[in-house]
Structure 1
Amino acid sequence: MRGAAHIFACLAAPVLAIGLTMGTASAQMLDFKDLDGWAADDHSAALSTFLDTCSLLKDPEWSPICRLAPNAMASDAAARSFFELLFRPVQVGVSPALFTGYYEPELAGSRTRTPRFAYPVYARPPELTDGQQWLDRAAIESTGALRGRGLEIAWLEDPVEVFFLQVQGSGRIRLPDGGVLRVGYAGRNGHAYKSVGQEMIRQGLMDEHSVSAQGIKSWVRANPEMGAGLLHHNPSFVFFRRLPDLAAEKGPIGAMGRSITTMRSVAVDPAFTPLGIPIWLEKDGHNPMRRLMIAQDTGGAIKGAQRADIFFGTGVQAGEDAGTIKDGGRMIQLLPIDRAFALAEIEGQ
């Protein structure tokens, strides 16, 4: 124990603010006292989420961190000390950040097509390879290119819900017999995500302050013919897979292949934010948020160093909450202390 205490004491040495460079984004090392609300958070909850994917982090600096992490679950004070002693806060990119929210929909559906459930959720076509640019959304939906191939996993009652299931990337489908079918992301058609909300603003159908997932759904349902064309503005199309072994109490599967956690997991751009690292989030706007989260997911619309999508959970209320989030603030990466100092050394050369 004396040896471990000595290591912790050495790692706790003060760090000066130093300019860094990560990829094409500027970065700056900070101190934990610079993080607004840091002391008030539930660090044990964040550490528990961190542990879900820690074993997947293969770079050498993670090995001692992941060995020590379970011992820090003894108390919130221990969890806080764990983060403060083994990490350094680094802001990558220039604020303000853009924070949005996502969730796991819970939708009525059927394993077979019926008059009520007539809109398919598709499995990935076997000929589609990762990175391949395949048929776009309009071609798939307008020509019926996938019809009759046995790729239908389930059927939903509303084409708008099929579209937003693809935006979220996972869901729970309530079946007529009372069962639940869990579906998760299996791939996409290789086309870049384009925002339907931004297109509606461009066309003058909504203003920037009123556009939301709920608003888009209502407008498309009220204007089905023009609405279908609007949904085709987003050429990206997502395919799904059944998740029969995913326990009901677990969150959907994120980009790291593990379940994500309500209000503790975020989707990020891995070009700037390594998957698996802790992220200190300072969200402003309505219902400000100061919280330690873990980067465990990605998304087609999540691009940039100061960009994160907050996972709000499962069901209707989670969808309502997630759909209203479009706020600024800043996000801070917590990097292993060796990596942070290495970046500082590179910058100083």
Structure 2
Amino acid sequence: MTHQTIQTSSASAASASSTISHMPWILAPRRGRLAAGFAAAALAACSSVPLPPERPAPVEIVPPAPAVATPPAGIERSRSRWVAVDWSELPGWNEDRVAEVWPALRASCGRPAAGWAELCARAQLEPPADDGAARAWLARWLQPWRVESLDGQPEGLATGYFEPLVQATRQPRGEFRVPLYAPPSAAAMPRPGWTRQQLDTLPAAKAALRGREIAWVADPLDALLLQVQGSGRLLVDEADGSRRLVRLAFAGHNEQPYKSVGRWLVERGELTLETASWPAIRAWARRYPQRVQELLWANPRVVFFREEPLPDPTVGPRGAQGVPLLPGRSIAVDAASIPYGTPVWLDTTEPLSATPLRRLVMAQDTGSAIVGAVRADYFWGWGADAEAQAGRMKQPLRLWALWPRGVRPN
């Protein structure tokens, strides 16, 4: 999944990592991006008979880890430093429903990272019965490592992404006049390809895309949103009057640099770093419809798609690891900091409520704006709630990578 995040800079982000230079996904691009909320109910009971003496709360027994050599204190990767820590350092570790990550873990095991083959076989054969069993399994076989920048900074940036759902028509009609394209032939496009403005205005450039239309949408910002996220879902009105749900998958781009429309608005004083979000960009476009074309042309990159069937709407798009993303349990990372297929403990907050977001996720995707040691893009899923969360997410972050005991992180 190829996605992009609106790039800006801020003091907090800069201090977190020297390589972080962006805001939420609206400010930059992705490569290939619903979180499940849980509440606990309290049960109260009363009785007229004497209550038995209180019993101590059951203690969760974690099997001892296999006898292995003590891990080194720290290991340097090309963009991060991993520091071995105790499980007690992971905030909220005993509160997450960690068994929910198992489908994502098993999916990643279809393309295991180096050193994971034996443990992936165990994960396939030993699915946990509940969260306690999952925690015990993880504690037995994995070693937690705090992820830091090369200069020792443990804090970074969390943003969010999602899979848009957009209504479309198979033929242009009414307000549905904005095309989504399959890639042009190599012979028809120069290298690098024409810019967005050139594709809209030059006869030769327009001819290169003629006949490559997949569908038409009504709002040019919806088309941009699909391109920024790198994939999406279309609810298409077919020529025969039927309606079909399909997926658009990333199929390439015009080899032009990505320029953030959010940054463009901030630089012109139309928005501030604090207010820049996808809802704010849409609101600006409604106020100044005559300037929308100028806004779009500020980003010369155009993304092309291929259409895929979507027989099961509960399955997410494929990330850069080549496996389907699981809402609330998949993240995009800088693969030079954290390898694909690594379980990661995430410590951040939700964007709309600042509620702690501490959970086990899988590193399964990346993005051209996802650069840095402590950097994650959280996959919220699809639908209006996912868009609202992802479009505003720009939160402080800490990460811990979980790696097989006795295996040196590569």
Question: Could you say which TM-score interval applies, normalised by the shorter chain?
Answer: 0.7 to 0.9
Matched, 1:139 2:198: yes
**Inter-partner Cα distance in structure 2 for 1:332 and 1:133:** 39
Q: For the aligned residues, what is the CA RMSD?
A: 2.4
Shift of the alpha carbon at 1:251?
Answer: 1.3
Equivalent residue number for residue 157 of structure 2 = 98
The alpha-carbon distance between structure 1 residues 248 and 143, as it changes in their structure 2 partners (threshold 3 A), is: same
Q: Which has the larger radius of gyration?
A: 2
Matched, 1:117 2:162: no
TM (norm. structure 1) is 0.87
Residue by residue over 1:232-275, the C-alpha shift from the partner in whole angstroms, topping out at 9 and shown as x without a partner, is 33333221111115522211222222221111111112222211
Q: How does 1:21-36 map to 2 (within 5 A)?
A: 21-36=76-91
**Inter-partner Cα distance in structure 2 for 1:245 and 1:63:** 30
Equivalent residue number for residue 137 of structure 2 = 82
**Inter-partner Cα distance in structure 2 for 1:243 and 1:92:** 38
Preserved contact between residue 194 and residue 301 of structure 1 (Cα < 8 Å): no
**Inter-partner Cα distance in structure 2 for 1:77 and 1:203:** 53
Preserved contact between residue 17 and residue 30 of structure 1 (Cα < 8 Å): no
Using the TM superposition, name which of 140-149 and 73-82 deviates more. 140-149
Which sections of structure 2, spanning at least 5 residues, go unmatched?
1-62
Shift of the alpha carbon at 1:15?
Answer: 5.2
Preserved contact between residue 50 and residue 294 of structure 1 (Cα < 8 Å): yes
The alpha-carbon distance between structure 1 residues 222 and 256, as it changes in their structure 2 partners (threshold 3 A), is: same
1:162 paired residue among 211, 223, 230 = 223
The residue type equivalent to 2:357 in the other structure is M
The residue type equivalent to 2:335 in the other structure is P
Shift of the alpha carbon at 1:100?
Answer: 1.0
Shift of the alpha carbon at 1:95?
Answer: 3.2
Q: How does 1:207-218 map to 2 (within 5 A)?
A: 207-218=272-283
2:234 paired residue among 162, 173, 176 = 173
Shift of the alpha carbon at 1:301?
Answer: 2.0
Preserved contact between residue 236 and residue 246 of structure 2 (Cα < 8 Å): yes
Matched, 1:52 2:107: yes
Matched, 1:69 2:130: no
TM (norm. structure 2) is 0.74
Shift of the alpha carbon at 1:98?
Answer: 0.9
The alpha-carbon distance between structure 1 residues 236 and 330, as it changes in their structure 2 partners (threshold 3 A), is: farther
Preserved contact between residue 87 and residue 144 of structure 2 (Cα < 8 Å): yes
Aligned residues: 331
Q: How does 1:1-349 map to 2 (within 5 A)?
A: 9-11=64-66, 18-57=73-112, 59=114, 61-70=115-124, 71-90=126-145, 91-93=147-149, 94-127=153-186, 133-143=192-202, 145-147=205-207, 148-176=209-237, 177-284=242-349, 286-340=354-408
Residue by residue over 1:279-329, the C-alpha shift from the partner in whole angstroms, topping out at 9 and shown as x without a partner, is 111113622200111111122321212111111111112111211211112
The alpha-carbon distance between structure 1 residues 165 and 95, as it changes in their structure 2 partners (threshold 3 A), is: same
The residue type equivalent to 1:159 in the other structure is P
Preserved contact between residue 113 and residue 341 of structure 2 (Cα < 8 Å): no
Which sections of structure 1, spanning at least 5 residues, go unmatched?
1-7, 344-349
Shift of the alpha carbon at 1:83?
Answer: 2.0
The residue type equivalent to 2:169 in the other structure is S
Q: Percent identity?
A: 34
